[in-house]
Amino acid sequence: MFIGFSDLIVYLVEPSATQSKIITALLGQLDVRNVHRFESASDALASMREALPNVVISALYLPDMSGTELVQAMRNDANLEHVPFVLVSSETRPQVLDPVRQSGVCGILPKPFSEAQLKTALRATLDYLDTDATLDDGDLDLDNLRVLVVDDSASARKFIRRVLENLGIRHFIEAENGREAVAILSEAMVGLVVTDYNMPEMDGKALVDYIRTQSWQNSVPILMVTSEQDMGRLAAIEEAGVSGICDKPFEPEMVKSLLRRVLSEG
């Protein structure tokens, strides 16, 4: 069922009364009125287990745990693992933000953030919640498309699968790193590879190199989903032969557009 901004039930986890007022006001400007504020992660988790929100918006530093630990607790709970999560933080250090990105989130907002930035995160949330956002326009054979998802984070793989399932894709194979992916590709034919960049054993760049130069499936479309910010490394990935690159966290609508182009070309 399609929902809009006005239908969203938001759990706001923010210990600061001042920050809560600011965020609630910005949400109100987007017609989001159903906002429940929690000062601690434990209170938010307890309420989530009673009634699911449509999205959790959380600060990074909370009195009882971090926002990172909160989203990880949600991803480890079968009843909460698919609840969209948006982080609000002034942190910019990759070592702090990467664990959040790896957990599968709909957005990471700076502090302070603009109404436009909030709107983008909420649109990504709605896209994630939209289970009828099919990609199939008659020209794509999604029923028989087999997708290999490669990421060392189980939560990230689940998030990617959920987005792709919303687009109408049903068949998946998963690998935790490039080495596992290589073994799978030697045996099973796939129509699309979606891979992370930073992984142990064999990273995404090495996997792309292998596919394009050594695999019998060297023409398979490859979508790189990564939190990598180094422009030199990203340029090397493009030169290696990826079909598209998406930021992590990514916007489902962007993935939809990229996949339509990539699969149509294939």
Of 120, 112, 123, 126, the C-alpha closest to 25 is: 112
Give me the architecture of the 5-129 domain, per CATH.
Answer: 3-Layer(aba) Sandwich (3.40)
> How do the domains of the chain map onto residue ranges?
5-129, 142-265
Q: What is the pLDDT of residue 163?
A: 86
- 112-138: per-residue pLDDT in tens? 999 999 999 999 999 888 876 666 555
Give me the architecture of the 142-265 domain, per CATH.
Answer: 3-Layer(aba) Sandwich (3.40)
- Rounded Cα distance, 164 and 168, in Å: 7
> What is the mean predicted confidence (pLDDT) over 82-98?
93
pLDDT of residue 221 exceeding 60, the answer is yes
- Rounded Cα distance, 86 and 57, in Å: 5
Q: What is the pLDDT of residue 13?
A: 98
- The torsion defined by the Cα of 9, 6, 67 and 42, in degrees rounded to 10, comes to -20
Among the ranges given (133-137, 139-143, 240-244, 254-258), the one the predictor scored with the smallest mean pLDDT: 133-137
- 40-78: per-residue pLDDT in tens? 999 999 999 999 999 999 999 999 999 999 999 999 999
Orientation angle between helical segments 204-213 and 231-240, nearest 10 degrees:
20
What pTM value is reported for the model? 0.85
- Rounded Cα distance, 139 and 127, in Å: 22
Query: Is 16 in a helix, a strand, or coil?
Result: coil
